[in-house]
Amino acid sequence: MIGRPYSSSEGSRPFASRYPRGYHGYPMHCALRKLFPYVLAIFLLLISLPARANDNSAIFPLSDVKPGMKGVVYTIFEGDQIEKVDLEVIGILHNAVGPKLDVILVRLLGDKVQQTGVVAGMSGSPVYIDGKLVGALALKLGTFTKEAIGGVTPIADMLEVQQPPTSIPASSASDATPRTGLSLPQEFAQRTSVGGSGQFLVPIETPLIAAGLYPETLARFGKEFSSWGMAVMAGGTAAPSPDDAKLKPGDMVGIDLVRGDLSISSGCTVTTVQDDSILACGHPLFGFGKVAMPMSRAHVVMTLASAQSSTKIITTGATIGTLTQDRQTAIMGKLGAGPSMIPLDVTLNTSAEEKKYHFEVIESPELTPTLVAAVAYNGIIGSPAYGEGPTLQLEGAIEIKGHTPVHLDDLFAPADQTTPAALFAALEVQSAFSQIYSNPYEPPQIERVLLRVKALPERQWATIDSAWLDRSAVRPGETVAVKVLLRPYRGATFVQEIPVTVPAQTTRGTLQLVISDAAFLNRNVQSLAASSQGQLQGLEELVELINRERHNDRLYATLLQPTPTVLVQDKEMPNIPLSAINVLNQRQNPGNARLLWQSTEGEWSVPMHQVITGQHILTITVK
């Protein structure tokens, strides 16, 4: 027993006098012998502890980094176990990602990275030399390379994210670090034994983990997700834990884009934690600058090795804070409460059941339209009773703080065997969101989105086969009967009549009478909501124009005259005299007016209770 009192019986042993006396006259040899099991146990315990990155490490200056230096990178391959991977510095690429933005080229060493290479999700893994923080692993060398070659963003560049930006931040992912890759100088290409397509450093992919998305949804929207520079794969969610917010360098953090009855999250590795702030990734997530996105704790289920692109499969837990900056060299977040998200409720009615889904989506002009479309599509196809054949009736609203809601009311039917009606409905919602977010008047605050979709049992659509007039010459004020031959899906043709009254003020001459669906008019005749962006008084006027959009389930007759129309804000001025046009052209600021070289004399429609497609143009003479 360590430190026990001296015993005279022990001191009387023959060998006791051969060794110097230890504690209380106890022989030193005996003391060491007794201590050895305890020392060994402590040593074994220490070496068995998981490798941990030092969060309070000093910074290793970039100017001191030399080729051949040895270092380590901390990352997770499975679970929450942070592991140490050895590395060697190959050299420094000056001005690689921009003026005064250098990259440290390194070679990862060890059996694991020889199998996996640089893994999607490693972005942000902290790199140390002599126990000091150098930066974050952020780039990788091409694909199918034989060695695990990576690029490190220096920590000094990452720390600049904490300062206010000196210029306007990027507004889209295309303005961020180029996804096409950074060319590797020949001297480094030779030292890394790569050639051809491998001579490019590209940002390490960020895993985009989807839980609850059907394979069909991923197939429809996967390309848009991939264009964000992310590797899309199935994942999951984890139960919240009180320790979720206790982050260390090398842990993983998730950025939640959608949560609720399905979740979509991206994941990066934490580089450093300073009080309640974290830096991660080492490259932009989307490149949006100032943001407000929920952060969650991410856990690695496993690392999937692939010759093309290895990736971490992750799950996300409870919300632990807010991502506040998404910049060129890093992302930055603040631990604590998460930001507000847009509630989205989808109700699907079929002949067999009613299913309700609830989601929350981030508010981002660049991402929200696509996310809402994907969520809506996923919710619509979620019923076993849904198939590609039924017609969908969409009703809903996008509630905007301080403004009239945007009303969604239309009918959709598949026109072929490859495009389901659900996609048309989802794209309708996406289009409305895009118009709202792209408005130049004010940042919209979306309070709620409500979608109700009813699946009708049959494919209800008809195409315009032909059209004719009961007489081709009329006088102003007279009514002419327009007969339209419609061919329904797998049904007998029928004739629909539209009474058209020529306005009394219509001038003499030859006019066009366009018989069409709603889409043709919106594309080719006049769509004030699309053509008046920037010409209105504000967001409220834009909402009013969106709410006036034509519907798919109506048959339209539009009388066009070859005289100019001036669009002023949300008003139409048809048949404007040439003298007035000359006055507008001479003014430097024509009052946000736009000129169209035709005027709408009148528009008529009849409800058809089925989707109408096609168009036919008639000629009518006004006497």
**The pLDDT value given to residue 56:** 61
| Least-confidence region, from 185-199, 231-245, 543-557 | 185-199
Q: Residue 565 pLDDT > 90, yes or no? A: no
The tens digit of pLDDT for each residue in 143-167 reads: 656 688 899 999 999 999 988 765 4
**The pLDDT value given to residue 1:** 35
The tens digit of pLDDT for each residue in 330-373 reads: 999 999 999 999 999 999 888 778 889 999 999 998 899 999 99
Percent of the residues in the chain that have a pLDDT greater than 70, as a whole number:
75
SS3 (DSSP) at 48: helix
Query: pLDDT category, 24, cuts 50, 70, 90?
Result: very low
Q: What is the mean pLDDT of residues 418-422?
A: 81
Percent of the residues in the chain that have a pLDDT greater than 90, as a whole number:
44
Which strand ranges, in their side-by-side order, compose the sheet holding 615-622? 473-474, 615-622, 509-516, 554-561, 599-607
Q: What is the mean pLDDT of residues 283-294?
A: 92
Q: What is the CATH number of domain 342-456?
A: 3.10.20
The tens digit of pLDDT for each residue in 578-599 reads: 555 555 554 544 445 555 556 7
pTM, full prediction: 0.78
The tens digit of pLDDT for each residue in 217-249 reads: 888 888 888 888 777 777 778 888 888 889 999
**The pLDDT value given to residue 175:** 40
φ/ψ (deg, to 5) at 586: -80, -15
Domain ranges of the chain: 8-48, 54-338, 342-456, 461-622
Q: What is the mean pLDDT of residues 548-563?
A: 90
**The pLDDT value given to residue 31:** 47
**The pLDDT value given to residue 95:** 83
Phi and psi based region of residue 80 (left: phi greater than 0; alpha: psi -120 to 50; beta: remaining): alpha
* Strand partners of residue 307: none
DSSP 358-398: EEEE---TTTHHHHHHHHHHHHHTTSTT--SSSEEEEEEEE
The tens digit of pLDDT for each residue in 436-445 reads: 998 889 999 9
Query: pLDDT category, 472, cuts 50, 70, 90?
Result: confident
> CA geometry: angle at 53 spanning 52 and 54, to 5°?
115
Q: What is the mean pLDDT of the chain?
A: 80
Which strand ranges, in their side-by-side order, compose the sheet holding 611-613? 494-501, 479-488, 461-469, 611-613
Query: Topology of domain 54-338, per CATH?
Result: Thrombin, subunit H (2.40.10)
The tens digit of pLDDT for each residue in 29-45 reads: 444 455 555 544 444 44
**The pLDDT value given to residue 62:** 95
> Which of 145, 342, 177, 311 is CA-nearest to residue 235?
311
